[in-house]
Structure 1
Amino acid sequence: MDFALNDDHLALREAVQRFCDGEYPAHERGNVPVPETAARRHAAMADMGLLGLPFDPELGGSGQGPVETMLVAQALGRALGGGAWFSSIVLAGQLLARAGSPAQCTQWLPRVAAGELRLALACSEPQARYHFDDVQTRARRDGAGWVLDGRKSLVLDGDSAELLLVVARTAGERHGPEGLSLFAVDADAPGLSLHGFNTLDGRRAAHVELRGVKVDAGRLVGAEGAAHVLLDETLDRANAALCAEAAGAIEALVDLTTEQLRTRRQFGAPLAKFQVLQHRLADMVIALEQAKSMACAAAMALEVDSVSQRRRLVSAAKVMVAQLGRQVSLAAIQMHGAMGMTEECRVGHYAKRLMAIGQTLGDAHHHLRRFSEQAH
């Protein structure tokens, strides 16, 4: 694999870093923004073209690929920024772009790219843990349309989205990839209720309940019963972006810890003079390079032809990044001393985000098992 970045990649990375430096000041990173600030940042991302990054130009986007998404995610991770970028664009937006008909994409994606419409993907269920083909939510035909009944859990930014992409079973039993379909459901549809809550890292998610929610035939996204393949690919793309975001957060922790060791004094000397702390910081730097390499491997894997190889590499990256994020977080907190546990110290905010990334769309145990399954 060729990990070299061209001039366009470097320009994109620098532009996003400048955006993050302006919109996410260092002393505010990790704080929950007030609604006005969140709306301003979302609009600014639309103006930069970040909300349309993976969409085709005729849909208001720029048609960029996994490497560009990786660079943006890494810069946002370094600043603990992005808001609903991951949930609305990387997750739900890319799925809609791949599964939707030309009419559906034309109807919704230009508004998403302009920051006028937010999406969320409702695919996981309370009983399923990380098995996204364990679906009890049902969609049955009702004349020319459909009726949806069921529950969805941990819908990222679900309480701020106007349009939900709901995975429901139109055929088959509870387990298995066959018979899964995708529906676009308005968040204010009769019979749909949302329960929003704060996540560990200060972000938002929601549980969704559907009781007799009616949608017309035009809200079936893609072919009936054919959602699993596209969902599997989209989740791999989202996990690759999470790996890149984690690499950015790890880089920030290394920078914060380096500054702490340079400026904090003990026994009349900077902490950086103590050899044992130098060794621990060196371990953190090595972990950072490993995380960056695995994020690159995951991004490049999205463009290979082999589905098995894509799954294997993405899962390998997710396992490594989850482990490295925990390792670096613990080291950074310890080397900051008691202040590393306070709300005012940025280190704890990065540690929480890395912990959340490690649990999102499959933890290390889930992806280690998935990795081993692809070897057979």
Structure 2
Amino acid sequence: MDFNFTDEQSMVRDSLTRLVRETYDYETRNGVIASESGWRPEIWAQLAELGLLGMPFSEEDGGFGGGAIDSMIVMEEFGKGLVVEPYVPTVVCAGGFLKHAGTAAQKEEHIGGIVDGSQIFAFAYAEPRGRYDFADLETTAKKSGDSYVLNGHKAVVIGAPWATHLVVTARTSGGQRDKGGISVFIVDKSADGVVTRDYPTVDGRRASEVYFENVSVPADALIGEEDGGLPLIELVTDEAIAAQCAEVCGAMKVAHALTIDYAKQRKQFGVPIASFQVLQHRMVDMFTEYEQSVSMTYLATLRLGDDENARKQAVSAAKVRIGQAAHLIGQEAIQIHGGMGMTDEMAIGHYFKRLTIFDSEFGNVDHHMKRHIALSS
């Protein structure tokens, strides 16, 4: 199989490498995440100007005809700089819902805004008691004339402080954990009854607790089929997992490089600790885990277009393997750096936090191990 990238994809990677290197150095990022807003709208506008926000959309929808591989390239470079801008919630998640199930009117209203950077989305799916079960929903959407009325609470909605719109999962029928009866809606964040509590996350991003108090949305806010939204949610979240796997691969690569550089500089007994064979072995283990993670990311990305069972197996396998690798690489990096590695003065601590948090998004290692076993049996 040919794993070479096209000339256009290589050009995108080169452009992103330069952008991240010039605008996301360690000190600049620290200043950004410590600021009141927690991000830079001018960087988002620059991503739009470069065409990166429109890359995964078809030309018919106003995009540039790319796909999951292009998102993988973007996310890997973002991972190297620990970029906090909400690419996954907006382009991968909201864009995925619109691509797969949006009506012509919804695509016309929203995809152009995503592409030019004027519309920013957050994906409100998680609930305090739902764990990783997308069907465990207490948020409800009840039909009222030509509208739906939403009530409920969504937790840890990444990117919501910056969002103009929310993609919300809600129960339109059935019991709390039924696989059927789930629907997906686009909600204007400024709508009456939407209440948010914003906060920083441990890995430098921003999130919100989002409360819906009798929020009325029109019937045309429904994405896809009423009561039949779970397969669509699983498809889009699998695409998001593949994109985040690529992001974490980028972060792993930098974490490994930072660890090698530190080991060459740090001295014990008058020699660099990089000369100690036991530490060399540990750094080789880190590199091996990184290389396996890249291969698993490629596999998951390429399988996104396969049938449902094959897609889910590949994505869960990648989430398990890369979650384990992220844990090992993050832990080893901190161990080799010593206590200094956990201070804000050293970049490795920030990479460790992102590698650690990855495991809790869209299902952890244990969750995806169980899903993979169930699909394989």
- Bin the TM-score by the shorter chain: over 0.9
How do 1:205-354 residues align onto structure 2 when only pairs under 5 Å count? 205-304=207-306, 306-354=307-355
How do 1:351-362 residues align onto structure 2 when only pairs under 5 Å count? 351-362=352-363
Report if the CA contact (8 A) 2:39-2:85 is conserved: no
Aligned partners of 1:175, 1:195: CA distance in 2, in Å?
Answer: 26
* Matched AA of 2:319: K
* Matched AA of 1:84: P
Name the SS of the counterpart of 1:116 in structure 2: coil
Q: Which residue of 2 aligns with 1:17?
A: 17
Aligned partners of 1:141, 1:284: CA distance in 2, in Å?
Answer: 53
Q: Which residue of 2 aligns with 1:83?
A: 85
Name the SS of the counterpart of 2:153 in structure 1: strand
Q: Which residue of 1 aligns with 2:161?
A: 159
* Structure 2 residue 115 is matched with structure 1 residue 121: no
- Flag the 1:50–1:82 CA change in 2: closer, same or farther, 3 A: farther
* Matched AA of 2:8: D
Aligned partners of 1:71, 1:7: CA distance in 2, in Å?
Answer: 13
Report if the CA contact (8 A) 2:255-2:329 is conserved: yes
* Candidates 53, 56, 66, aligned match of 1:54: 56
Name the SS of the counterpart of 1:302 in structure 2: helix
Q: Give the alignment's TM-score, normalised by structure 2.
A: 0.95
Q: Which residue of 2 aligns with 1:373?
A: 374
State the 1:238 CA deviation. 0.3
Q: Give unmatched runs, 5+ long, in structure 1.
A: none
Q: Give unmatched runs, 5+ long, in structure 2.
A: none
* Structure 2 residue 161 is matched with structure 1 residue 131: no
- What's the CA shift string for 1:230-285, capped at 9, x where partnerless? 11100000001111111110000111011112222222222222212211111111
Report if the CA contact (8 A) 1:29-1:346 is conserved: no
Q: Which residue of 1 aligns with 2:43?
A: 41
Name the SS of the counterpart of 1:154 in structure 2: strand
Q: Structure 1 residues 98-107 or 272-281, which shifts more?
A: 272-281
State the 1:73 CA deviation. 0.7
Name the SS of the counterpart of 2:183 in structure 1: strand
* Matched AA of 1:116: S
- Flag the 1:37–1:211 CA change in 2: closer, same or farther, 3 A: closer
State the 1:222 CA deviation. 2.0
- What's the CA shift string for 1:282-309, capped at 9, x where partnerless? 11111110111111111111022x2111
Q: Which residue of 1 aligns with 2:147?
A: 145
- What's the CA shift string for 1:142-185, capped at 9, x where partnerless? 11111111221121111221111111111221112212111111
Q: Which residue of 2 aligns with 1:111?
A: 113
Q: Which residue of 1 aligns with 2:96?
A: 94
Q: Which residue of 1 aligns with 2:7?
A: 7
* Matched AA of 1:311: K
State the 1:97 CA deviation. 2.4
* Matched AA of 2:19: F
Aligned partners of 1:103, 1:14: CA distance in 2, in Å?
Answer: 35
State the 1:59 CA deviation. 3.4
Q: Structure 1 residues 346-355 or 3-12, which shifts more?
A: 3-12
Report if the CA contact (8 A) 2:55-2:66 is conserved: yes
Report if the CA contact (8 A) 1:117-1:163 is conserved: yes
* RMSD (CA atoms): 1.6
Report if the CA contact (8 A) 2:57-2:66 is conserved: yes
- What's the CA shift string for 1:179-210, capped at 9, x where partnerless? 21111111111111111121111211111111
Report if the CA contact (8 A) 2:84-2:205 is conserved: no
* Matched AA of 2:232: L
Aligned partners of 2:15, 2:4: CA distance in 1, in Å?
Answer: 18
